Amino acid sequence: MNKVVSVNDYLKNFPHTSFRSNQEQVIEQVCDAFNSGYKHIILEAPTGFGKSAIAITIARALGSSYICTATKDLQTQYTHDYKLLKVAKGKSNFLCRVKEDFIEKGKYFCTSCNSGSENECRHTSCEYGPCLSDESMEGTGCKYRTFINDYKTENKGKENERTLISREKLEYYKTEYSNWIHLKNFDTPREWNPCYYFDQLFQALKASHSIFNYSIFLSLLTNKNMMQQRELLVLDEAHLIEAEIVKFRGLSISKKRWRRYIPKFKMVDYGYDIDGWLDFLIDLEKTILILIGYDSLVYSLVKERKVKYGYDSKRKAKARNKRIVSASELFEDDSSLEIDIKSESGKNLIHKELLIDIVQDIEKLTRTINNILSSPKNWIVSEVHKENYDVVRVELKPLDPSKYIRTIVEKCSKTLIMSATILNHITFEKNLGIDSEENKTKFIQIQSDFPVENRPIFPLSVEYLNFSNLQQVDIKTKISRAIDNIMHIHSNDKGIIHTTSYEQLNFIKENLSKLNSRRLILTDPEIERDEVIKEHTESKKPTVLISPSLHTGLDLKDNLSRFQIITKVPYPNIADKWTSEKRKINKEWYYWQTAIRLVQAYGRSIRSKDDWAKTYVLDSAFNYFVRMNYNILPKWFLSAIRK
């Protein structure tokens, strides 16, 4: 039944003392849409509009919510601004308390790393907690471990709501802790406190309002009993939903990683044949399960796949009359993939931390195999990477995310989908399978009110850029010289240079003057993004970020960036088979994705009405792209282009 809430009830839940431009009108439109029976509302509003305040208003009015956003940075920003939200992050973000005990007493040693230094060891987080690999620590064996039913919520739905462990359970845990054999390792044990990871997770799941990044939200959905129904689901940074789904559901197999488990591991070259790679994955699954002592599971999987998907491992062919498996079944199946690694003989031959990695990789491998078997035409081999003619990595991805999206949005009665760059809402809705033709989706679009003189775009038309001419030395020289000149003009300003590849980044860096080259701060796949951004924000010098991956989710307000350079129109790389296939299916998707990246890159440096920055576009193809895609680019973006 549709919950009807008056517009006054929405407005009185606004979290600030005054409204920004158009916020009140948007809240009224959302109220009317939900009360009229719409299930999904898509809100496109520019940077600085205050979309998060809209989300909090709707969430408070409806009483309960899950909010999803793209990064941990944005989670932190939400919880800093809105104290009612409980945050949930993944295991890798938290130190394991058992290992912390040994670290604090100077007794820590990791057999996998062969190191006693917590700074050199990568296994100190909850991701490698002994509760995952040690039988004595399983379940209640770890006395730091709490459970969701230990928590209660007081003053639920009110301003002073709080979630905490009940007094009875608190006393129980303290008593159990005092008798724990683990403490015999230490002369003066610490006072009891709950596991960092499970405590924050269960508080978030019990609270009325909680915020997740897409990665942990999708992983929690695989356990159908973990996430309870709520009134509102907020999908923020919604232009990234497809990428997040594909990242979560996709699979990468690399020779380097799997040789840690199977020293003689080899990858057969099946090219871009999905059937060949499927057989390879099933053989790999069998090998690794036998290695860790799970021979019986191999037989169970063969039997299950023959019944459910019509896959005969002997014939290695799919039956013609196999049934279609729904997305909800896929999510439910994932929860049954959990493997207990604490009681099998094979584990004794492998370091515990390595065994945890193995099990995580097996679970993802098995899930991918089942996904491919359930919908083989929806999967593609997106990349086969070779070194000296040998395959060293293969990547497989689903083409259509809509079957997974539907299961996500069904988790709540209503969905608020937000981004600064929806642009072509028809393509967006079709891509996610929530087409407005069903009369369930409402699109609301807001224009930017940032002064156009504060955010000019200068198309410099240095050269028409594509993959071919970017290999030419004279073109590279022209581009580098143009960037050098702009950096000289802004010699005292911080800024950012957007490239579309690391190859561009490297030739720009190598061809700048020494003075400007020293100003650059480069991103690197091996370095945490947060570290790079921190270096830029904390430096007193006029540093300049340069990256192919900072076009979204980055706040360079005020003096953090007074100029930005867009080197090339950011077309998705059609050398990638996944992108190429998506383009074949729907050309509109390809140009829509390009427009999203372009507008997102433009938005990194102008974050409020009083902020200002100049944007320079070097690629001559920019004018052509704008002309051909005039109908989907925002008016506020078009108005900033200097003729």
Residue 153: CB atoms within 10 Å: 15
Same domain, 462 and 608: yes
pLDDT value at position 325?
A: 47
Q: CATH number of the domain that 581 lies in? A: 3.40.50.300
Q: Which residues pair with 151 in a beta bridge?
A: 165
Task: Give the neighbor-by-neighbor strand order of the sheet with 520-522.
Answer: 457-463, 614-619, 563-566, 495-498, 544-547, 520-522
Report whether 563 contacts 495 (CB < 8 A): yes
Mean model confidence pLDDT for the chain: 90
Same domain, 359 and 486: no
What is the C-alpha to C-alpha distance for residues 88 and 197, in angstroms, rounded to an integer?
Answer: 8
Note whether residue 266 is domain-resident. yes
Q: Which H or E run contains 381? A: strand 379-387
What is the C-alpha to C-alpha distance for residues 38 and 388, in angstroms, rounded to an integer?
Answer: 56
Note whether residue 36 is domain-resident. no
Task: Give the neighbor-by-neighbor strand order of the sheet with 379-387.
Answer: 251-254, 390-398, 379-387
Quickly state the pLDDT bin for 328 (edges 50, 70, 90). very low
What is the C-alpha to C-alpha distance for residues 557 and 613, in angstroms, rounded to an integer?
Answer: 9
Q: Which H or E run contains 620? A: none
320 against 629, higher pLDDT? 629
Query: Over 60: is that where the pLDDT of 348 sits?
Result: no
Across residues 311-335, what is the average pLDDT? 52
| Final residue in a domain of this structure, among 137, 171, 199 | 199
Rounded to the nearest 10 degrees, how much is the dihedral formed by the CA atoms of 553, 19, 449, 74?
0
What is the C-alpha to C-alpha distance for residues 79 and 606, in angstroms, rounded to an integer?
Answer: 23
Across residues 385-403, what is the average pLDDT? 93
pLDDT value at position 269?
A: 95
Query: Over 70: is that where the pLDDT of 424 sits?
Result: yes
Across residues 432-460, what is the average pLDDT? 89
Beta strands in 457-557 (DSSP E): 457-463, 495-498, 520-522, 544-547
Across residues 550-578, what is the average pLDDT? 94
Quickly state the pLDDT bin for 462 (edges 50, 70, 90). very high
Query: Over 50: is that where the pLDDT of 321 sits?
Result: no
pLDDT value at position 552?
A: 86
Across residues 216-237, what is the average pLDDT? 90
Q: Which H or E run contains 587? A: helix 587-602
pLDDT value at position 504?
A: 95
Across residues 550-558, what is the average pLDDT? 90
User: What are 116's two structure tokens?
Assistant: 């006693």
Across residues 346-370, what is the average pLDDT? 82
Note whether residue 226 is domain-resident. no
Question: Roughly what angle, to the nearest 10 degrees, separates helices 587-602 and 577-585?
Answer: 120
Quickly state the pLDDT bin for 337 (edges 50, 70, 90). low
Same domain, 283 and 382: yes
What is the C-alpha to C-alpha distance for residues 428 and 132, in angstroms, rounded to an integer?
Answer: 40
Q: How far is CA 469 from the centre of its chain?
A: 33
Q: Which residues pair with 368 in a beta bridge?
A: none
Same domain, 174 and 268: no
pLDDT in tens, 587-640: 999 999 999 999 999 999 999 999 999 999 999 999 999 999 999 999 999 999
Report whether 490 contacts 543 (CB < 8 A): no
Same domain, 479 and 603: yes
Across residues 298-306, what is the average pLDDT? 91
Note whether residue 67 is domain-resident. no
Cβ-based neighbours of 581, under 8 Å, separated by 6 or more: 380, 399
Secondary structure (3-state) at 616? strand
Query: Over 50: is that where the pLDDT of 311 sits?
Result: yes
242 against 339, higher pLDDT? 242
441 against 112, higher pLDDT? 441
Same domain, 349 and 485: no
pLDDT value at position 403?
A: 81
Same domain, 267 and 177: no
Range of the domain at 155: 90-199
Give burial (CB, 10 Å; 0-12/13-18/19+) of 635: exposed
| Final residue in a domain of this structure, among 352, 368, 395 | 395
Query: Over 70: is that where the pLDDT of 341 sits?
Result: no
- Pairing mode of beta strands 563-566, 520-522: unpaired
Cβ-based neighbours of 582, under 8 Å, separated by 6 or more: 399, 589, 590
pLDDT value at position 436?
A: 58
Query: Over 70: is that where the pLDDT of 327 sits?
Result: no
Quickly state the pLDDT bin for 346 (edges 50, 70, 90). very low
Note whether residue 611 is domain-resident. yes
- Which percentage of the chain shows pLDDT scores above 90? 73
Across residues 82-106, what is the average pLDDT? 93
pLDDT value at position 417?
A: 97
Quickly state the pLDDT bin for 294 (edges 50, 70, 90). confident
pLDDT value at position 330?
A: 46
Note whether residue 614 is domain-resident. yes
Q: Can you spell out the DSSP letters for 43-91?
A: EE--TTS-HHHHHHHHHHHHS-EEEEES-HHHHHHHHHH-TTPEEE--G
Residue with tokens 């609301």: 444
Same domain, 631 and 520: yes
Q: How many domains are there within the chain?
A: 3
Q: Which residues pair with 459 in a beta bridge?
A: 617
Same domain, 376 and 465: no
pLDDT in tens, 245-266: 999 999 999 999 999 999 999 9
Across residues 185-214, what is the average pLDDT? 94
Quickly state the pLDDT bin for 225 (edges 50, 70, 90). confident
Same domain, 171 and 256: no
Note whether residue 178 is domain-resident. yes
pLDDT in tens, 117-142: 878 888 999 999 988 877 778 777 89
Region of 532 (left: φ > 0; alpha: ψ -120 to 50; beta: rest) is: alpha
Quickly state the pLDDT bin for 315 (edges 50, 70, 90). low
pTM: 0.88
pLDDT value at position 323?
A: 43
Q: What is the 3-state secondary structure (H, E, C) of 83-104?
A: CCCEEECCHHHCECHHHHHHHH
Q: Which H or E run contains 516? A: helix 514-517
Same domain, 174 and 265: no
Q: Which H or E run contains 443? A: strand 441-445
Please choose, from the candidates 216, 222, 217, 215, the residue with its C-alpha nearest in 3D space to the C-alpha of residue 243. Answer: 215
Same domain, 193 and 263: no
Query: Over 50: is that where the pLDDT of 347 sits?
Result: no
Residue 638: CB atoms within 10 Å: 11
Secondary structure (3-state) at 323? coil
Q: Which H or E run contains 390? A: strand 390-398
Report whether 104 contacts 117 (CB < 8 A): no
Query: Over 80: is that where the pLDDT of 320 sits?
Result: no
Note whether residue 78 is domain-resident. no
| Final residue in a domain of this structure, among 378, 395, 412 | 395
